[in-house]
Amino acid sequence: MCGITGIFAFNTIGRINLVHLEAATRSLEKRGPDAHNSWFDHVVGLGHRRLSIIDTSNAANQPMADQSGRYRLVFNGEIYNYQQLRQELRSLGHTFQTDSDTEVLLTAYIQWEEGVLDRLNGFFAFAIYDQENESLFVARDRFGIKPLLYFKDEDKFIFASEMKSLMAYGVPRSIDKESLHLYFQLTYIPAPKSIFEGVEKLAPGHFIRMQNGVFEKKQYYQLPFKSAPELAPGPGTNAKLIDALRQAVHDRLVSDVPLGAFLSGGIDSSIITALASEQVSQLKTFSIGFKDNAFFDETHYANLVAEKYRTDHHVFSLTNDDLLSEVSQMVDYIDEPFADSSALPVYLLSRKTREHVTVALSGDGADELFTGYNKHSAWLMAMQGGLKSNLVKSLKPVWGALPHSRNNRLTNTFRQLDRFAEMKGLNLQQRYWLLASFIPQDVVSRLLKTHQSVDGLMEAFTSRMASGDINEVLASDVEMVLQGDMLHKVDLMSMANGLEVRVPFLDHRVVDLAFNMQEKCKIQGSQRKIVLREAFRGYLPEELYSRPKHGFEVPLLHWFRKEMSAELDEYVFNQDRIESIGIMDPKQITRIKRKLHSINPGDSPILIWSIYVFNKWHERFNPSMT
């Protein structure tokens, strides 16, 4: 696990930027606190920051050269099947000087070139330079667990794990208007877009090759989506899932440093903990609790799992003041606008966990594979229709007139009913986009002075929608929400604290299995994650099956009305600041402030948080708007 950066020069002008390599590498220090190095010649520069996990010796540091000196690699991630690959490569005549997965990856590329990508089980972003051919090969893992951004012009190609590293090369800082609108609708910017014009995120399952002035980008992996899945509910399907997840967990336990698991008390992390505990005695587990909000505190359920499997359990009980005190530090680490407020507790959980271990397993990915969200139930209900569904739609004027807020159960129900009624009148693509968005497009259009449609992007991101089958929704979730929001959040917040997080549910064999399951394996009526619940019923305390699903919630409405009001007056409601930035309509900012303090705040806290994060980011990066 590390941070990587590099530059590939097409001509003499491009080589000038090689002088920025050290600064670009240094900016990734938190991702790799254990070692750093760089290497360059007249064509390429490669930089690396290392978090040592497998073979912690200096011999495994990067950039790593092969034994001939022809190839050099910088690599962020882990290859879980590196030991099997090593054996195969040895049978083909290769020798090794380290015990690292890095050397195995480099040797495997030399042997199979781009074909190596189909053989890898892991998460990664890497670049390999062939000094003899003066070519560069760059790749990202199947699901986008590890990030990779790049900038290309007529002189150079630059890549990095984080935006701040790209900025160290002097990349232009002109805001992309489509991305700006996406951010305020979704609270994040999905690949391949980024906040800056000319900067792209390499999409999951893609690689880039450059040689002799030719730039080639190619997809090597696609979700194994099937229009007619074969696996039906039953013991056989359950057994397949148990076997696949057990193997995925086993593979992710390889480590030469202390390892543990996040344990929230939900089904997903509890399954991972149960399977890991089969193989690790007194597994270290970590939960976060909320002293000031018992409704969102899940430590009771986590404790039940910890007791059942006799884990070495650590509970970090936080107050709202604990969360609030870390807001500025967390926001300051964000180098592209990202407004999922649950990043804050993930940041704190990662920091506390890092005091005990260097690697943690998590249950991320299960919601997107097996229907973990309320929106999945809403989708199914809308598709099935019926009296109840039609009644909710017909009462839309009523729902719209009632108070909306995520801050308590009743007003959140009104919000959900109003959203459902609106969804019923839309086509499949529009319906999915509504469920994926937090702020409607018309609200964003009024807020921003840059009048920009994202209809083309919406169509691209919702292209899976054909029949309305739940697997189409889940595939869209994996391709947009999972990589753009959930995985980005965990990577960013864990790497800010030098912690590696591994996600067994996103083993490609588990994903293959999940998309070969029929809809009724996953969701029927209000029941979700059916196959997970049934397959692992004997593994988990029964009490977990009767509890509601919660996520990491941050009390934004309370903070914004009280503790953070002065901060908002400076960074959100300050008319001079809004005018100087020149991107938002001051009148709309005033309207949003009134809504925040009304009896019907709706989703104004989310929009205000998005504005706050954006303005703090704008202050640090000072971008332009063309």
Mutual angle of helices 387-394 and 374-384, in 10-degree steps:
100
Q: Please, what is the Cα angle at 499 between 493 and 503, to 5 degrees?
A: 85
Contacts of residue 618, Cβ cutoff 8 Å, sequence gap at least 6: 581, 583
Give the CA count within 13 Å in the CB-facing half-sphere of 106: 29
What is d(CA 5, CA 25) in angstroms, rounded to the nearest whole number?
A: 6
**Catalytic-labelled residue, pool 2, 46, 493, 583:** 2
| Nearest to 529, CA basis, from 549, 512, 543, 509 | 549
Q: Give the phi and the psi of residue 118 in degrees, each rounded to 5.
A: -70, -15
What single-letter amino acid sits at 177?
K
What is d(CA 164, CA 284) in angstroms, rounded to the nearest whole number?
A: 33
Q: Please, what is the Cα angle at 24 between 22 and 27, to 5 degrees?
A: 105
CA dihedral 321, 322, 323, 326 (to 10 degrees): 110
Q: Collapse the DSSP code of 357 into the 3-class scheme (helix H, G, I; strand E, B; otherwise coil) and give the result.
A: coil
Are the beta carbons of 314 and 320 closer than 8 angstroms? no
Q: Give the phi and the psi of residue 2 in degrees, each rounded to 5.
A: -165, -170
The strand order across the sheet containing 214-219 reads 64-65, 71-79, 122-130, 135-140, 206-211, 214-219
Are the beta carbons of 509 and 244 closer than 8 angstroms? yes
Continuous segment of H or E residues that includes residue 333:
helix 327-333
Q: Collapse the DSSP code of 481 into the 3-class scheme (helix H, G, I; strand E, B; otherwise coil) and give the result.
A: helix
Q: Please, what is the Cα angle at 315 between 313 and 319, to 5 degrees?
A: 180
Q: Is 2 a catalytic residue?
A: yes
Tokens 């801050």 belong to 407
DSSP-derived letter for residue 169 is: T
- Bin 340: left if φ > 0, else alpha if -120 < ψ < 50, else beta: beta
Structure tokens at 318: 């936080």
Residues 301-333: b if buried by 16+ CB within 10 A, e if exposed: bbbbbbeebebebbbbebebebbbeebeebbeb
What is d(CA 509, CA 475) in angstroms, rounded to the nearest whole number?
A: 15
What is d(CA 499, CA 356) in angstroms, rounded to the nearest whole number?
A: 10
Q: Collapse the DSSP code of 549 into the 3-class scheme (helix H, G, I; strand E, B; otherwise coil) and give the result.
A: coil
Distances (CA, A) of 4 to 161, 207, 340, 370, 497: 6, 16, 25, 33, 17
Contacts of residue 156, Cβ cutoff 8 Å, sequence gap at least 6: 7, 8, 9, 10, 13, 14, 17
What is d(CA 216, CA 209) in angstroms, rounded to the nearest whole number?
A: 5
Residues annotated as catalytic are 2
